[in-house]
């Protein structure tokens, strides 16, 4: 269902009468379900007339008994009950905003008709057309079908009852004359029109199954005289299914105010569906049927799925996306410096690393922060953070520890390594991107040689480019081809900084790949000697190999990794002057 055409019943109901009162000729097309309603509502052709642009579209939706019944696999004999018809009517109303004219069949007996009028008017339908036949009617188009006409006085009484029931002036009741369908004379048809007009009907439909328009044109001529005689102007309606060589303009000139194309979407859909079904049988595959089918994306567009996707992405941006900080492992290099503390508790210029990370996240409205602990977890603390402990952190991989926060990952998340300090604006920039999986990577290794003793998470992007200036830039323009510590530093274009964002879809892809790897692989895996110790970057490389798109947000500096004692001293120097509120 698309919400694009959302409209209230009272806003829609009066549209048909208003258009008619403006003197507009109404072009209506049949709809039998939501998606055909969307087509009637939205299809346009554009052209030019006398140098001026012209747009032609349908003015109203015809909710046909023939096509509603047929789309449910039933004959058009009033066997599809009113509740089922209403269901279709609501379905179409929910996705359209143009006026709807409902084919009310005979309208049932006067009591039934009152209920029908009340329900349709409430729903925002603009008009109902009822035919002067006896319930249960037979469709009008098949020759040789027995057609039993209603007594005109009884039908006029039904019209009066209906008119009394409606609450607004907006709603219209139109009487459909079936005399010509039943083989009766033109004078009987005209006499019926006179009786129904006197009963207060809002318009007349003259139906015919002749292949020539002659009889309805004759009716229209005489109808003009009756209107003159009664000093009223009430719209005249026709359904040119059998006499379809006459144009709307010609019908308009003859006095018809509403032209209904009554069954064409169902008939064309039926033909096309049958052809596609046969093509599939003949070829035992759907490839040959593709040209006969709309692309799936066109359907997604029509029914509003692409809007939903867009809103989901916007919602994700605006929402407090969970952040997971894996911090279970022990840092052996800094052990003498850390003592019994875990690395996130390392103080840099008076604040722990974790406090600094929490502050940078909070400044981006990210408050749902989970830290996975392992080594020295008793010493881990920070306000506003949920801790999840992995007691067996020593036996498994860092990824296994990360998956202890699995309950936070399902709807999308941010992952942040515990040993980096970064400027808040890097997080802000990352939050703006809508890609399913995006890793933040620094391009400064393109300007200086990597230090030999440091093991970096190197990245090679798909389309290597040479940046022309050294200012901080956040130009996201590529996807990752390779990631890992064993990449030749000379060929690396970037360094992964330990910050990544996953949408709901991206998170699903990551988790599924992780679970598949854990279940099905043994021994060496990507760069890991053993799958039991595979890392985040191993998993990302596996995803790349499997064809998932891993995007890259390029930055230039603005972050640092605390890896060696020198890094701590450097960070102290940089951050000493920055005041951080103590409650963080
Ligand atoms: C319908 O579309 O259901 C109609 C028009 O009533 S006709 O089928 O021509 O009777
Ligand atoms: Mg009908």
Cβ of 509 below 6 Å from ligand 1: no
Cβ of 71 below 6 Å from ligand 1: no
pLDDT, position 451: 59
Give residue 8 CA to ligand 2 midpoint distance, Å.
26
CB atoms within 10 A of CB 523: 9
For atom 2 of ligand 1, the residue with the nearest CA is: 64
pLDDT, position 462: 86
Structure confidence by residue, pLDDT tens digits, 83-141: 999 999 999 999 999 999 999 999 999 999 999 999 999 999 999 999 999 999 999 99
Residues near ion ligand 2 (CB < 5 Å) are 65-66, 103
Cβ of 400 below 6 Å from ligand 1: no
Question: Distance between CA 70 and CA 267 in Å, rounded?
Answer: 10
For atom 8 of ligand 1, the residue with the nearest CA is: 66
Which ligand has the nearest atom to the CA of 67? 1
Catalytic residue flag (residue 76): yes
pLDDT, position 2: 80
Going along the chain from its start, the domains and CATH numbers come out as 9-262 (3.20.20.60), 294-575 (3.90.550.10)
Give residue 36 CA to ligand 1 midpoint distance, Å.
17
Residues 324 and 409: beta-carbon distance below 8 Å: yes
Give residue 163 CA to ligand 1 midpoint distance, Å.
23
Q: Annotated catalytic residue: which of 76, 103, 331, 436?
A: 76
Cβ of 66 below 6 Å from ligand 1: yes
Please report where in the chains the tokens 């005041």 appear, as a residue.
579
Cβ of 139 below 6 Å from ligand 1: yes
Structure tokens at 98: 């143009």
Please report where in the chains the tokens 């279709």 appear, as a residue.
88
In three-state secondary structure terms, 256 is: coil
Structure confidence by residue, pLDDT tens digits, 367-419: 999 999 999 999 999 999 999 999 988 887 888 889 999 999 999 999 999 99
Mean pLDDT of 158-166: 98
| Confidence category of residue 564, pLDDT binned at 50, 70, 90 | confident
Structure confidence by residue, pLDDT tens digits, 431-441: 988 889 999 99
CB atoms within 10 A of CB 32: 25
Cβ of 128 below 6 Å from ligand 1: no
């Amino acid at each position: 269902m698309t919400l694009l055409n959302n409209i209230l019943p009272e806003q829609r109901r009066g549209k048909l009468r208003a258009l008619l009162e403006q003197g507009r000729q109404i072009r209506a097309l049949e709809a039998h379900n939501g998606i055909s309603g969307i087509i009637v509502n939205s299809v346009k052709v554009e052209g030019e007339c006398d140098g001026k642009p012209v747009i032609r579209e349908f003015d109203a939706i015809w909710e046909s008994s023939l096509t509603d019944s047929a789309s449910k696999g039933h004959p058009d004999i009033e066997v599809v009950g009113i509740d089922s018809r209403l269901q279709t009517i609501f379905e179409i109303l929910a996705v359209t905003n143009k006026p709807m004219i409902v084919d009310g069949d005979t309208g049932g007996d006067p009591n039934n008709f009152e209920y029908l009028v009340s329900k349709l008017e409430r729903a925002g339908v603009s008009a109902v057309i009822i035919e002067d036949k006896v319930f249960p009617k037979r469709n009008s188009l098949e020759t040789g079908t027995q057609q039993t006409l209603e007594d005109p006085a009884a039908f006029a009484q039904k019209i009066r009852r209906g008119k009394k029931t409606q609450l607004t002036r907006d709603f219209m009741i139109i009487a459909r004359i079936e005399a010509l369908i039943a083989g009766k004379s033109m004078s009987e048809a005209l006499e019926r029109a006179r009786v129904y007009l006197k009963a207060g009907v809002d318009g007349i439909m003259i139906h015919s199954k002749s292949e020539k328009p002659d009889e309805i044109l004759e009716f229209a001529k005489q109808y003009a005289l009756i209107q003159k005689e009664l000093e009223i102007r009430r719209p005249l309606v026709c359904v040119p299914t059998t006499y379809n060589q006459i144009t709307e303009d010609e019908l308009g000139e003859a006095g018809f105010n509403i032209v209904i194309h009554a069954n064409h979407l169902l008939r064309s859909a039926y033909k096309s569906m049958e052809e596609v079904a046969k093509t599939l049988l003949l070829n035992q595959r759907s490839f040959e049927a593709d040209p006969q089918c709309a692309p799936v994306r066109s359907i997604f567009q029509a029914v509003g799925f692409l809007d939903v996707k867009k809103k989901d992405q916007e919602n994700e941006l605006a929402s407090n996306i969970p952040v997971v900080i894996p911090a279970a492992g022990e840092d052996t290099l800094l052990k003498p410096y850390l003592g019994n503390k875990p690395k996130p508790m390392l103080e840099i210029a008076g604040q722990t690393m974790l406090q600094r990370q929490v502050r940078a996240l909070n400044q981006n409205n990210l408050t749902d922060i989970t830290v996975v602990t392992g080594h020295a977890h008793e010493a881990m603390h920070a306000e506003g953070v949920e801790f999840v402990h992995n007691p067996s952190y020593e036996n498994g991989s860092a990824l296994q520890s990360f998956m202890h926060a699995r309950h936070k990952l399902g709807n999308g998340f941010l992952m942040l390594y515990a040993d980096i300090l970064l400027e808040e604006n890097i997080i802000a920039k990352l939050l703006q991107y809508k890609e399913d999986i995006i890793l933040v990577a620094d391009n400064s290794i393109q300007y200086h040689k990597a230090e030999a003793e440091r093991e970096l998470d190197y990245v090679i992007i798909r389309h290597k480019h040479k940046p022309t200036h050294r200012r901080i830039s956040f130009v996201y323009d590529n996807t990752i081809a390779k990631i890992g510590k064993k990449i030749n530093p000379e060929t690396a274009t970037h360094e992964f900084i330990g910050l990544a964002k996953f949408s709901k879809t991206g998170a699903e892809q990551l988790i599924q790949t992780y679970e598949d790897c854990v279940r099905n692989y043994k021994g060496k895996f990507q760069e890991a000697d053993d799958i039991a110790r595979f890392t985040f970057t191993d998993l990302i490389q596996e995803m790349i190999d499997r064809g998932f798109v891993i995007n890259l947000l390029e930055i230039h500096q603005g972050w640092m990794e605390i890896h060696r004692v020198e890094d701590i001293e450097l960070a102290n120097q940089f951050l000493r002057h920055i005041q951080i509120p103590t409650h963080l």
